[in-house]
Structure 1
Amino acid sequence: MADDISRNNNDRIEVEIEKERIENLEHVAEQRNVVPHIDPARRVVVEKSLKRKLDARCSLFVLIYIMNYLDRNNISAARLKGLQEDLNLTNTQYSTCLSILYVGYILMQVPSNMFINRIQRPSIYIAIAMTLWGLISTCSGLAGNFGHMVAIRFLLGFVEAAFLPGALLILSKWYTRRELTTRNAVLFCGNLISNAFSSLVAAGVLSNMDGVLGHAAWRWLFWIEGAITMTIAVSAAFILPDLPTNSRGFTEEELLVAQLRILEDVGEADTDSEEQSPFTGLIMALKDVKIYLMMLAFTAYVVGLSFNAFFPTLTGTLGFAYVPTLLMSAPPWVFACIFSLVNAWHADRTQEKIWHIYGPIFMGLVGFIISMSTLNVAARYIALFLQAGSYAGFIVFYSWISSSFPRPPAKRAVALALINAFSQLGNIAGSYVWGLKENGYRKSYGIVTAMYGITIVGFWIFRMILVNLNKKLEIKEAEWDAQNSEQQGDVAFMESADESLRMRKGFRYLI
């Protein structure tokens, strides 16, 4: 009985809160030519249904990301079972095969996200891209020399570029700033799980498929994983959501609430002006100095995380055979996945960014230092857990991009793609960092430690820029209040020549 009374009280409180929010929202909507009509009590029910459906459908992004990374990084596991020897690759050529993928990846990301921001059915676009990269990945098993592998890896990166920035953009169109970090963490768990899962799959294929139908086991690894990718791609076209204005599988009420949630979050509908050309967002992004700072700092972070592509090799320094090495590569990434979810959930709950990025980075630094300081097997294995855990800050950073460039969508789309694309230079550099394998990769660990130091400084400067913008917003609001003391509510919009300050009253950048 007491529980029923408590639930009823909580429902009444939620309804009252919704009434207040919608009263303000109607003023905002009137200014932005959107007219919502939904009862507050009904809004609570519809929003819960919306988020339940949305979470279920967006969970497919995790599986897609798993395959995205499996198809990208299975070359590392294949190397342990003869790929380099069969193709007569030198160490430098092998590193080139790794790094060339990111050339295509960098070239395609910004054009792809500009395109995906303009189309009405991004789910179909992602499904087509996934089918193509699955097909290209299977061709890796047909490579006969260095030239073949370089061409295949370039095309693979070119097509795979559509997925991550596109997925991040779609999520930012549905989830509010208070929800986005956790959802991004769930998405990036696909990355982390793939690092664990790929080792287990590789161990099974490489141990049992050698010589089947006269082919080496590493070739079967590419064929099997590529076929799985293409199979999953078919379902993506039917399951993934499109836009809050036209997505199939949602009721009209749910789509209306989806639009209202974003309207409340940033103060205007998440749509671009009809007057904007496809290049307007690109021009706006290129004029924003904050993006260049994030590009440089994040690239240093990616160099620091480059151990990911060499993880089985680093685990191999513990001195075990290749199957135990692959199996031992999985647990650190399971730990990283769990830690990342907890870290992201707490970042959303506290609405704080910088320390939820710094914490995992400091953890990774401890792991690097241990790896440089000792050859003890147990200590080095623990260090691998700490290094993998540093990915948790990487995840929070992506939601920081979205919240720092909330409007218009065209600019946010380019910001996500531009920062992510430029950061892939870090993966290219990282491909060569781990060629310095003397003394258990001590020199390599020294380089990534320095890169984490650059990341810490760059992110702090960015935070100070946002703090300064928040102070300017406070000053502008105080000026507005003094001039409009008779107007009630907090739905006014600040006017400024600086686009970063043209925000709804009450808006603050997350730091």
Structure 2
Amino acid sequence: MPHQIASASDSSDTHTVDAAEPSYRPGTDVSDIDERKLMRKVDLHVIPWLTILYLFSFLDRGSIGNAKLYNLEEDLGITDTQYLLSLSMFFIPYALFEPASNVLLKRLKPSVWLSSMMLLWGIVMTLHGVVKNFGGLLSLRLLLGLAEAGLYPGVVFYISSWYKRSETGFRVAVFFSSATVAGAFGGLLAAGIAKMDGVGGRPGWAWIFILEGIATVLLAIASFWIIQDFPDTAAFLTENERVFVIRRLQQDSKHSASGEVFRSEYVWQSLRDWKTYLAMGLYMGFDGPLYAFALFLPSIINQLCYMATQANLLSVPVYVWGCIMTCVIGYLSDKFGRRVYWNAGLFSVGIVAYIILVTSRTPALSYFAVYLAVSAIYPIIPNSVAWVASNVEGSYKRSVSLGMAIGFGNLNGAVTATIYRARDRPWYGLGHAIVLGYIAFGLFCTIAYAVLLKRENDRRDRHERDEIISGVVNKLADEKNGRYSGVDAARLQKGDEWSGFRYTL
């Protein structure tokens, strides 16, 4: 059923504009297309390979935590402080390059940009297996961070360019669940590969890097042909299917889906937007805990009276549970909406988990708390990503906003990579307390984000944001909100700042 949108009031002297009228190639008839069948086709071409890419990304960056248990520090002659510094170095280029990478992804083909990044980090990963000292390890972690920088924000932006706002959460959850699979698979893989200790004169930890790196390079080469591009150019769609996909996105207030010419103003829109900075705080609240959890789970379990291989194997069921929870909550949050409540609930579970970890001195209780933690940290991320992406319109603005939020969130990985110090074992009280603080801050940002979004929606419902539209009589329109030749011009130029756009809670 067509719905009415307007930058005007509902009074008798207001003209409305039908938002359902096709604005992309209006002469094309797409009435014979089965929407459900088409979206299944899109799912099969877009999501599975992205999931594999992110699985290897997370597997590669986190494998150093598994390798540490097999004498990495001793063989390289590095101290615990040097090891922690090496972990931190990954996140600096990783975070700083993300916003720029997203803009490049939009301007270049995803098939080229994402595949090239993967090829580079696969080569860097392989070189980890021949490193001989602290300087080499530090340099390679910097290069790995730079090479991987654009993948996660790029894929999130890419997914948001294919699906409606109510469909994004589950797709991002499926994609992101590969991080939990990587955690589970990484432990199993490390336990198996470590048995190659001495083969070719290399220690077991070196073979973990070498074999995973070679696999990444091979997948990257295949990606140049497998990854699809944006809806308006995707080769696997017919011309009518492209029109259908773009129109359904435009009807969901994604009016830039048909393509957008780059203008620096779109970047400045993101930099001036309060949502960008609150989203950065929200991402900080879960990305810091995410990397602390992923990098140190084997060490945490190891210090609870388990041997190295046992610790890696005991991490497997934790990640399997995290994968299940991520997908289930991603589906439910898409189905029922109100992402603020899901976020608030998940952050609250995370707070309970880390209070237990801070206070517990019982291995079994701490191991249980790890399950609570993974139930909160991992599902929060796709829900938050979908929430933030759905509230930013304009493809370039969304790419910059997501890049900044995800980049700043990941920068906190440089902090949490250093908080689980060897001298604090076996209970790591300081590390757990810092993660607890991050989660509490994330809960605060969630509440603030929702309150301010609702306040802005209320202002638009009261017509305080109405623009002056040529040919439309609207006594409530105000010059300060802009003057435009038509509704299409207003919504395309203003994006989510357009008076007809409503933020999702």
Length-normalised TM-score, structure 2: 0.88
Q: Indicate conservation of the 8 Å contact 2:184/2:317, yes or no.
A: yes
The alignment partner of 2:463 has SS state of helix
Per the alignment, residue 213 of structure 1 pairs with 200
Q: Indicate conservation of the 8 Å contact 1:302/1:427, yes or no.
A: yes
Please give the alpha-carbon distance, in whole angstroms, between the structure 2 residues aligned to 1:447 and 1:413.
30
User: How much does 1:250 deviate?
Assistant: 1.6
1:508 aligns with 2:502: yes
Per the alignment, residue 79 of structure 2 pairs with 90
Q: Which amino acid aligns with 2:246?
A: Q
The runs of 5 or more residues in structure 2 that have no matched partner are 7-16, 476-485
Per the alignment, residue 454 of structure 1 pairs with 441
Q: 1:239 aligned to 216, 226, 230, which one?
A: 226
Length-normalised TM-score, structure 1: 0.87
Q: 2:276 aligned to 285, 291, 299, which one?
A: 291
Q: Indicate conservation of the 8 Å contact 2:87/2:418, yes or no.
A: no
Q: 2:266 aligned to 273, 281, 286, which one?
A: 281
Per the alignment, residue 399 of structure 2 pairs with 413
Per the alignment, residue 10 of structure 2 pairs with none
1:175 aligns with 2:150: no
Change over 3 Å in CA distance of 1:432–1:484 after alignment to 2? same
Please give the alpha-carbon distance, in whole angstroms, between the structure 1 residues aligned to 2:130 and 2:28.
58
Listed as ranges, the matches of 1:60-99 within 5 Å are: 60-99=49-88
Cα deviations across residues 150-192 of structure 1 (Å, max 9, x unaligned)? 1111011101012111111111111000100000001101111
Please give the alpha-carbon distance, in whole angstroms, between the structure 2 residues aligned to 1:180 and 1:378.
37
1:373 aligns with 2:359: yes
Please give the alpha-carbon distance, in whole angstroms, between the structure 2 residues aligned to 1:83 and 1:142.
12
Please give the alpha-carbon distance, in whole angstroms, between the structure 1 residues aligned to 2:464 and 2:217.
53
Cα deviations across residues 450-498 of structure 1 (Å, max 9, x unaligned)? 2211111122111111001110121129989x9569xxxxx96796999
Listed as ranges, the matches of 1:470-485 within 5 Å are: 470-476=457-463
Q: Indicate conservation of the 8 Å contact 2:166/2:334, yes or no.
A: yes
Q: Percent identity?
A: 27
Listed as ranges, the matches of 1:1-40 within 5 Å are: 20=2, 27-28=18-19, 32=23, 34-35=25-26, 37-40=28-31
Listed as ranges, the matches of 1:244-263 within 5 Å are: 244-263=231-250
Q: Which amino acid aligns with 1:312?
A: P
The alignment partner of 1:433 has SS state of coil
Cα deviations across residues 434-457 of structure 1 (Å, max 9, x unaligned)? 126245112221121122111111
Please give the alpha-carbon distance, in whole angstroms, between the structure 2 residues aligned to 1:309 and 1:467.
37
Q: Which amino acid aligns with 1:393?
A: I
Q: Indicate conservation of the 8 Å contact 1:363/1:386, yes or no.
A: yes
Q: Which amino acid aligns with 1:93?
A: Q
1:466 aligns with 2:453: yes
Please give the alpha-carbon distance, in whole angstroms, between the structure 2 residues aligned to 1:30 and 1:181.
27
Please give the alpha-carbon distance, in whole angstroms, between the structure 1 residues aligned to 2:333 and 2:410.
25
1:54 aligns with 2:48: no
The alignment partner of 2:255 has SS state of coil
Please give the alpha-carbon distance, in whole angstroms, between the structure 1 residues aligned to 2:309 and 2:121.
28
Per the alignment, residue 7 of structure 1 pairs with none
Listed as ranges, the matches of 1:151-162 within 5 Å are: 151-162=139-150
Change over 3 Å in CA distance of 1:267–1:322 after alignment to 2? closer
Greater CA deviation, 165-174 or 365-374?
Answer: 365-374
Q: Indicate conservation of the 8 Å contact 2:24/2:243, yes or no.
A: no
Greater CA deviation, 212-221 or 430-439?
Answer: 430-439
Per the alignment, residue 14 of structure 1 pairs with none
Per the alignment, residue 481 of structure 2 pairs with none
Q: Indicate conservation of the 8 Å contact 1:495/1:502, yes or no.
A: no
Per the alignment, residue 200 of structure 1 pairs with 188
User: How much does 1:145 deviate?
Assistant: 0.4
Q: Which amino acid aligns with 1:114?
A: V
Please give the alpha-carbon distance, in whole angstroms, between the structure 2 residues aligned to 1:439 and 1:324.
16
The runs of 5 or more residues in structure 1 that have no matched partner are 1-16, 486-490
Please give the alpha-carbon distance, in whole angstroms, between the structure 1 residues aligned to 2:489 and 2:449.
22
Please give the alpha-carbon distance, in whole angstroms, between the structure 2 residues aligned to 1:130 and 1:267.
29
1:322 aligns with 2:318: no
Greater CA deviation, 389-398 or 74-83?
Answer: 389-398
User: Which one has a larger percent helix, Structure 1 or Structure 2?
Assistant: 1
Change over 3 Å in CA distance of 1:372–1:269 after alignment to 2? closer
Greater CA deviation, 151-160 or 433-442?
Answer: 433-442
| Higher RCO structure (Cα 8 Å, ≥6 apart) | 2
Q: Which amino acid aligns with 2:408?
A: F
Please give the alpha-carbon distance, in whole angstroms, between the structure 2 residues aligned to 1:195 and 1:325.
12
Listed as ranges, the matches of 1:334-483 within 5 Å are: 334-390=320-376, 391-405=378-392, 407-435=393-421, 437-438=424-425, 440-476=427-463
Cα deviations across residues 50-94 of structure 1 (Å, max 9, x unaligned)? 212221122111111110011101111111001111111111110
Greater CA deviation, 337-346 or 216-225?
Answer: 337-346
Q: Indicate conservation of the 8 Å contact 2:333/2:339, yes or no.
A: yes
